[in-house]
Amino acid sequence: MVTAVLMVVFSTTGAGSVAARQADGCGDRASLSVFVSDESGTVRAPGATVVLRWTAAERAPVRGAAGPDGRFHLCVPEDARGATLWAEFGDGSSEQAVIAFEPGATTEVGLRILTGPAGTGRIIGRVNDLVTEGPLTAVAVSVPERTATVRTNGRGRFVLSGLPVGAHELKVRRPGYAPLRHRVTVHRGLTTEMEVGLVPASAEMEPLVATATRPRRLEITGFYERKLWGELLGAGTFLTADYIERWRAGSVGRFISDHIPEIRRSGVTLVNTAGHMGWKGCPMAIYVDGIPVRGYGIGGAVLLNEVAGLEIYKGLEGLPAGFRDERNRCGAVVAWTR
């Protein structure tokens, strides 16, 4: 992953500044001025999409386009005290910025679009024995564009990074198994994930390959890294949009209560009935795009068709550091939007 570059500057602008002139029509309300640029911070990104989700305010997210100068301006609603925002431009996106508003002040934010090394992406995957379904170690994995061959680790996983964009012929080989050749497409700045099932040389079967391209939003928020370790340690449940869309639940809360037996709904609140460390039947914490949602349920903060991924933790012990809080003793539900 490319190291993110994010500049956030909070200031009360002077009357002669560009941001102040744009905010003249906001009166006593707070205003927001966003400048979207390339990764260097010097080339503006006209037409970039700025996405803003309010913190603890029951309002729909805002999506707006930056102007020809790469700037986006907004008068903040009176009941909004904070927000999380990011920018998207073509295949690139910025990291998220978490900001607070002050009445009558203009908050200036600079967002830099990150695209990764030009024209490259990566492939990660896992190789299993198709008969036993166990991971295979020391499997040789290569593509013609790389002179080096990588080998799977103790969990059968491999990573090929810095690959040119386009179609590649992946070669997978291990003594005692039928070799595999499979064409896979690499997308700029994205990760293509693969599940490979190799067939023992003595078996009359065809190898199995499944591929998927990871959504950028989940990639840059660390969802997949938490999923990897969470599933390995049994520390959480991780659901992506592909899985969620197979079900026709009416709301996020209903979907979660239908799929996690220990969680039930009490009005708009999600309650962990299994509890943890002696606590039982207390409300779970809710996060949307990394921001805590207080005072109303997850259904009031995000719609099911907006969800790119869900992380569900049923106790304080398994919570990642970013969501660890004594108030979250019964666990947390973390929703990431598309």
Whole-model pTM?
0.56
CA distance 318 to 337: 22
Please report the pLDDT score of residue 31 as a whole number: 93
pLDDT for the residue numbered 1: 33
| DSSP classification of residue 251 | S
The answer to whether 44 and 111 are in contact (CB under 8 A) is: no
Nearest CA to 331 among 289, 267, 249, 270? 270
Q: Residue 134's pLDDT is what?
A: 93
The continuous run of DSSP H or E covering 110 comes out as strand 106-112
What pLDDT, in 10s, does the model give residues 245-285?
877 777 888 888 888 888 888 877 888 887 554 455 788 88
Per-residue pLDDT, 338: 77
If one counts every other C-beta atom within 10 angstroms of the C-beta of residue 9, the result is 9
pLDDT at 126: 92
Angle, CA of 213, 218 and 222, to the nearest 5°: 115
pLDDT at 19: 45
Which residues does the chain have with pLDDT short of 70?
1-24, 56-59, 90-91, 115-119, 147, 275-280, 295
Beta bridge partners of 307: 337
Q: Residue type at 115? A: T
Model pLDDT for residues 40-59, shown as the tens digit of each residue: 788 888 888 898 877 765 56
- Hey, what domains does the chain have and what are their CATH numbers? 6-112 (2.60.40.1120), 120-213 (2.60.40.1120), 218-337 (2.170.130.10)
